[in-house]
Amino acid sequence: MSSLANEELQSRLGHMFHDVALLQLALTHPSITHELGTTMQTNQRLEFLGDAVLQLILTRELFEKFPIFGEGPLTKARAKLVNRQALAERAAQLELGRHLLMSRGEETSGGRERASALADGYEAVVGAIFLDGGYEVARTFILREFADGCGELSDLPNLENPKGELQELLQAVSPESPQYHVISATGPDHDRIFECTVQHAGVELARGSGKSKKLAESDAALAALKQLRASQTDKTQTEPPP
């Protein structure tokens, strides 16, 4: 990598390396060893480290940001942030592909745009930043990179199954399951809108609507989850320190 390209990439990363060799190593794709016939180091070890650093920092962020959710939804939320495609997209935004050192065969077969190469390179760069700058520098980089992703999750870590998440949350404090009741259905037969309530222990938690009973129940569960989360957050903020 030329010094100009090196500085350009570091500028996009927001971190100027004390040890530029770490960045070079993070960008060295394993295919290069086959082309050169050598046993030179590649980015695989840094990828292993970077994966662990990403998991730790994002786990802590989710743990602190969503105090009412348990292991299940937090694990799903983290997986959404760090799956291979998500990491490849972040690498592409940094134009990481054009800086990778790889074999000609890998390059001609589209290696610079391949999701696996980009995701692995991204994790390796995270590992390199961690070694070069330490935990806080790596944390600053990761939280800046994932600010948009965490923002997408700001309402709820997992939107796929709000009824299941609500039941899991409520059953942590009571054996009673939430109950759903359709209270109205309006509109013509081909375009009905259902409204439903969700109750727990005889108390209405929220209401929701949708074009089917199932969608209305999911909407009500989602509204209940948001209210419970807001209530828990307010409680945490107003509790006096121990």
Active site (catalytic) residues? 51, 123
Single-letter amino acid, residue 70: G
> 61-73 burial, b if ≥16 CB within 10 A, otherwise e?
bbeeebebbeeeb
Contact by Cβ (8 Å): 193, 209: yes
Residues paired with 223 in a beta bridge:
none
- Residue 236's contacts (CB-CB under 8 Å, 6 or more residues apart) are 67
In whole angstroms, give the CA distance from residue 222 to residue 216.
Answer: 10
In whole angstroms, give the CA distance from residue 229 to residue 235.
Answer: 10
Rounded to the nearest angstrom, the gap between the alpha carbon of residue 192 and the centroid of all alpha carbons in its chain is 36
Contact by Cβ (8 Å): 193, 187: yes
Single-letter amino acid, residue 177: S
99 burial type by CB count under 10 A (0-12 exposed, 13-18 middle, 19+ buried): buried
- Reduced to 3 states (helix: H, G, I; strand: E, B; else coil), residue 193 is strand
Task: Please choose, from the candidates 185, 197, 193, the residue with its C-alpha nearest in 3D space to the C-alpha of residue 210.
Answer: 193
